[in-house]
């Protein structure tokens, strides 16, 4: 089980969290002006990186807040964590 560093509550066990998928995928500001390729990319295409991966977690059974982390998907080690809205580490 992962020990996940919540930036608000500190390290907590994985069962308190829900996974939010890849981070930094922004919905278009004006969806009417977006073509099919951009919608496909936003909805479905993911980097699915082997290595350092930026992703979101939500401390569902704790503070309830979303945050971003960088985790290595080979080792499952957490490398950095930041609050939503902060610059990418």
Partner 1 sequence: MQRFSAFALFRQALNGQKGWDRQWRDPEPKPAYDVIIVGGGGHGLGTAYYLAKKHQVRNVAVLEKGWIGGGNTGRNTTIIRSNYLFDESAALYDHALKLWESLAEELNYNVMFSQRGVMMLVHNVHDEQVFKRHVHANRLNGVDNEWISAEAAKRFCPPLNIAPGMRHPVLGAALQRRAGIARHDAVAWGYARAADALGVDIIQNCEVTGIDRDEAGRVSGVQTTRGAIRTRKLGIVAAGNTSVLMAMAGQRMPLESYPLQALVSEPVKPVFPCVVMSNTIHAYISQSDKGELVIGAGTDAYISYSQRGALHISMHTLEAICELFPMFRRMRMLRNWGGIVDVTPDRSPIIGKTEIPGLYVNCGWGTGGFKATPGSADLFAWTLAKDEPHPINAPFNLERFGSGRLIDEAAAAAVAH
Which residues of the chain form contacts with partner 1 (CB under 8 A)? 1-2, 14-15, 17-19, 21-22, 36-37, 39-41, 43-50, 53, 55, 71, 73-76
Q: How far is the CB of 54 from partner 1 (least distance, A)?
A: 11
CA distance 70 to 58: 14
3-state secondary structure of 31: helix
Q: How far is the CB of 86 from partner 1 (least distance, A)?
A: 21
3-state secondary structure of 83: strand
Q: How far is the CB of 10 from partner 1 (least distance, A)?
A: 19
CA distance 89 to 60: 23
């Amino acid at each position: 089980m992962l020990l996940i560093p919540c930036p608000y509550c500190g390290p907590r066990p994985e069962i308190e969290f829900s996974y939010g998928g890849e981070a930094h995928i922004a919905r278009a500001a004006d969806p009417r002006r977006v073509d099919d390729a951009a919608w496909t990319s936003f909805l479905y295409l993911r980097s699915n990186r082997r290595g350092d991966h930026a992703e979101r977690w939500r401390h569902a059974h704790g503070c309830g807040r979303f945050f971003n982390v960088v985790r290595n998907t080979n080792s499952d080690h957490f490398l950095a964590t930041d609050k939503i809205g902060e610059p990418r580490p």
